[in-house]
Structure 1
Amino acid sequence: MTPAMRPTRRGVVVLAATPVLFAAGQWAGYPLFLALAGFCGGILLAAVALTARRPRVRVTREVYPERVERGGAAFAKLRVRSTANRRQAGFTAGDRIGSGFHAVAVPALLPHKETERVYDLPTGRRGRHQVGPLTLDRVDPFGLGRAHVTTGDTTTLWVHPRVHPVRALAGGHPRHHHEGVASNDALRGSFDLREVREYTVGDEVRHLHWKATARTGQLMVREYIDPDQPRFTVLLDTRFPDALFEEAVDVAASLVAAAAGAGHRCRLVTSCGLDVATAGGPSAVRLLLDELTVLDPHRDPGQALVPGSLSRSGGGGLAVITAGLPPADLASLTGVRSRYSPLVVVVLGGGAVPVVPGAKVVAATGAVDAVRRWNVVMPR
C-alpha cells in the first residue's frame, strides 16, 4: 500500500498559491503568472511522487534477551538489506519501541547488500512491549510534503518485574505418616516410591512389582509414601496506587520465583480474579513472571481482597501482599487462616500495621525493604 503524502506548511502555501496564480494569469493575461502556476503544480506532483516511494529494503530484527527484568540490559539487532538493483540512498528512520521511537541511521547500500545496527532497548517500564516496525518520514527536497512509511517485521520484548533474592517459603500437609524424612526432590504426585520389598500377607495386590517378581522368583511389592509436597500461594492485592503497585508486583515476583524455582508447587492469585497454579520449575517461573508482567492495578471500591477460590482450597504456605487490611478484608483473611500454614502478610507503604491472628506480619516501605525483612523473619 502506497503511503499518502501530507503537505507541510510550505506545501499548503504552494498548494493554495497555484490556483490563485493560474486564475490571475488567465484574468490579467500575464504569462509569468501562468508559468509560476505551472511550476508550483509541477513541484507538487514531484513531491507526491518522491514521498510516496517506499524504500526498497527488507528489515528484520532480533531482541536479546526476549525477557529481561525491569532495569536490566536488553538490545535489538536490526538488519537492513537492500532489495534494489541499484544503489539505495541512506536514510534516517525511527524504530518503534512501545509508544516511543529510537532513531536509526541507515547508510547508503549497494545492490542487495546488508547492514546491521545494534542499539539498547529501554527497560525501565514493566510490560510487554512491541519493537518495530521501522518507520520513515520521507520529505521531498522542496519540503512541500511528508509521508509516513513503515517497513520490516516486529517482535516483542517482555520486561519482567524486578526479582530480589528471597528465601523460599512452602508448606505441606502429609495425609499419612511414614518413617524418615520425605524428600522434596523429583516428586511425582500424591505418592512417592520408597522401596521394593518382599510381599507379606496384607499387602495390596495392586502394588505387586511384576518385573522384580520375575527377576527374583518371589512376590515383590512396591512400598509408597505420601510425602510433604511443598505448596505456596501468593495473594496479591491489586488495589494499590500506581507507584506502590510496582513495588507490590516486585515482591510477588520475588516470592513466586523463589518458590517455583525451588521446585515447589506455586500458585499466584490476585484480588482482581487472576488465578494461576503451576507445578514448579523453570517453566513455571517464566509463566508466573509473564502473568505479572501484564498485570494492571484494579481499584474497584467493592472489590474483596480474598477471592472465593482461596476459601474453597487450601494447603501449603500463603503470603498476602497488601497496602492495608480494613475490617472486611481482615475478617475474610481470618476465615481462610486454618487452610494455610504458614500465613504471612506483607504490608507495603508504611501505613498502620494490622494484627492478624496466627499470622506473621511483615511491614515495609517498598520491595527491597520487604524482602530484607522477609529474609530475617522467615526460617531457613
Structure 2
Amino acid sequence: MRVTARGAGLAAGAAVLLATGLVFGYPHLVVLGTACLAALLFAGGYVWWRPRLTVEREVEPDRVMRGESSTVTLHVGNTSRLRGATLIAHDRCGPAAVAVPLLRLKAGGTTTASYPVPTARRGVVAIGPLRVVRRDPLGLLTLSRGYGGTSTVWVYPRVHRLTAVPTGVSRSLDGRVDRVPHGSITFDTLREYVVGDELRHVHWRTTARIGELMVREHLDTSLPRLVVLLDDRRDAYPDVDRAGESARFESACEAAASIVMAAFREELPVALRLAGGAHAGGKGSRGFLDVLAEAALHGPAAGLDEAVADLRTRKAGDTLVYLSGTSADLGRVATLRGAYAAVVAGVFGDGDAPGLERITVLAARDGADFAAAWDGVQTW
C-alpha cells in the first residue's frame, strides 16, 4: 500500500487538527481532524478490497526472430458472484508496462485483451504478472497486486543465409564432398563398461590398472565439426554505450546464429561456446538460439583465456570460428591453430582486420556483410 502526496498531507493535517483541538480545547478542530482520519480509514478499506480475478495468458509464438511478430493474449475473468469491477491494470512486458483496460467487468464475466511484444531488439522478454492497482475515490491511497503467472519470449538474432560451409579436415562420407579418405573412425576417449558394449572394445591394459572394465569410444570424424566461439566480453566491443549495448555485439550474435543454422541445414555437427562460459550443443537448434538470445556483455570476470584453454584441451571439432568486435585478441585465438585444422575469425567494425598466418580473417560491418564475406571465401 502506498500513500499518495494528497494522503500524506491529509494525514499530517489530521494530526495537527487533533493535537491542537485536544490541547487547546477547540471541539471544531477535533471534529475536522476526526473527519480527516475517517477519510483515511475509508480509503484504506476501499483499496484493501481484493477483486477476485483469474488471469490466463497466451503468447504466440514464444520464440521469434528479431523483427518478427509475437502477440500476448490475456483472458481476465471476475469470479465474484455479486460485485463488478472497474480496475486499472498493467501487464509487465520487459522493462515497460502495458495498460490493460478492465472497465465494467461484470460479476462472472470475462474480458480479453491482446497486445504485441516488442521484438525489435534481440533478448529475452519477461512478461507478467498482471498488476492491478486499486485507488480510492479521493486519491489518498493506492495498492498494487499481482495476478496470474509469468511468460517468456525469446527474441533470436536475425539469421542471414550462408550458402557455403567448411568441409573440415576430413571429407564427408555421404557424398557431399568428393575425394573421401578412408579410416575416418578414430579413437576419442575411454569410459566405463556398460551392459551391451562389445568386449572387443575393452581396453585391457587400463582395465587391469584401475580394476574396472574400460572400453574405447570412437568418433566418426568424416563430417566437418564446427565450433563457434562468441566473445561476450565488454572489452571486446569498443562501441558499448551507457546502456551496455553494442551494435557490433548484435552483429556477432547474428553471425553466430547464421553459422549455426547453416550447419543444421547441412546436417553438420556444431558446438557453440561463449567466452563467459555459456555453451550449447546437441541436435536441436532451439538450444543454440536460446543461448544467443540470452547472451549479454560481461565484465572482466568473463575471460577469453579460459575459453581458449578449454577449447585446446577439450577439442570439440576441426573448424573454429571466432567472432568479436575487435582484432586485438586474434593473437590469443591464433594459438589454437595447432588444435584445429581451420581457424576463422570474424571481426566486426569499421576498419580492416589484420591478416594472420593460417587464419582466415573476415572483416565485416554487420551480420549481412559477414554473410557476404563468408560466402566469398574460396577455401571452404
TM-score, length basis structure 1: 0.78
From the CA coordinates, give the structure whose radius of gyration is larger.
1
Residues in 1 aligned to 2:317 and 2:5: alpha-carbon distance in whole angstroms: 69
Q: Aligned AA for 1:140?
A: D
Give the structure 2 partner of residue 246 of structure 1.
250
Q: Aligned AA for 1:276?
A: A
Give the structure 2 partner of residue 267 of structure 1.
271
Q: Contact (CA 8 Å) 1:323, 1:351: kept in 2 or not?
A: no
Give the structure 2 partner of residue 368 of structure 1.
368
Q: What whole-Å deviation, never above 9, does each CA across 1:177-232 have from its counterpart, x for those lacking one?
A: 98x83799xxxxx87xxxxxxxxxxxxxx9xxxxxxxxxxxxxxxxxxx6722311
Q: Contact (CA 8 Å) 1:173, 1:315: kept in 2 or not?
A: no
Query: Is 1:229 aligned to 2:223, yes or no?
Result: yes
Give the structure 1 partner of residue 304 of structure 2.
304
Closer, same or farther: CA 32–358 of 1 in aligned 2, 3 Å: same
Give the structure 1 partner of residue 118 of structure 2.
122
Q: Aligned AA for 1:91?
A: L
Percent identity, aligned pairs only, is 34
Q: What whole-Å deviation, never above 9, does each CA across 1:12-49 have from its counterpart, x for those lacking one?
A: 11111113222333344443222212211111101001
Once the two structures are overlaid, the 10-residue window that deviates more, 310-319 or 244-253, is 310-319
SS in 1 for 2:149: coil
Q: Aligned AA for 1:72?
A: E
Closer, same or farther: CA 78–378 of 1 in aligned 2, 3 Å: farther
Q: Aligned AA for 2:274?
A: T
Residues in 2 aligned to 1:334 and 1:42: alpha-carbon distance in whole angstroms: 76
Closer, same or farther: CA 129–41 of 1 in aligned 2, 3 Å: same
Residues in 2 aligned to 1:374 and 1:309: alpha-carbon distance in whole angstroms: 26
Closer, same or farther: CA 117–288 of 1 in aligned 2, 3 Å: same
**Residues paired across the two proteins, number:** 334
2:137 paired residue among 136, 141, 150: 141
Give the structure 1 partner of residue 281 of structure 2.
277
Give the structure 2 partner of residue 40 of structure 1.
36
Query: Is 1:345 aligned to 2:345, yes or no?
Result: yes
Give the structure 2 partner of residue 181 of structure 1.
175
| Shift, 1:66, TM fit | 0.8
Residues in 2 aligned to 1:248 and 1:352: alpha-carbon distance in whole angstroms: 16
- What's the RMSD between the two structures over aligned residues? 3.1
Q: Which runs of 5+ in 1 are unaligned?
A: 185-189, 192-205, 207-225
Q: Which runs of 5+ in 2 are unaligned?
A: 179-183, 186-199, 201-219
TM-score, length basis structure 2: 0.78
Q: Aligned AA for 2:142?
A: R
Q: Aligned AA for 1:374?
A: W
Residues in 2 aligned to 1:152 and 1:53: alpha-carbon distance in whole angstroms: 18
Write the mapping of 1:150-189 to structure 2, written as runs, cut at 5 A. Answer: 150-167=146-163, 169-174=165-170, 181=175
Residues in 1 aligned to 2:23 and 2:277: alpha-carbon distance in whole angstroms: 75
Q: Aligned AA for 2:346?
A: V
Once the two structures are overlaid, the 10-residue window that deviates more, 259-268 or 297-306, is 297-306
Closer, same or farther: CA 108–262 of 1 in aligned 2, 3 Å: farther
Query: Is 1:56 aligned to 2:52, yes or no?
Result: yes
Residues in 2 aligned to 1:40 and 1:352: alpha-carbon distance in whole angstroms: 73
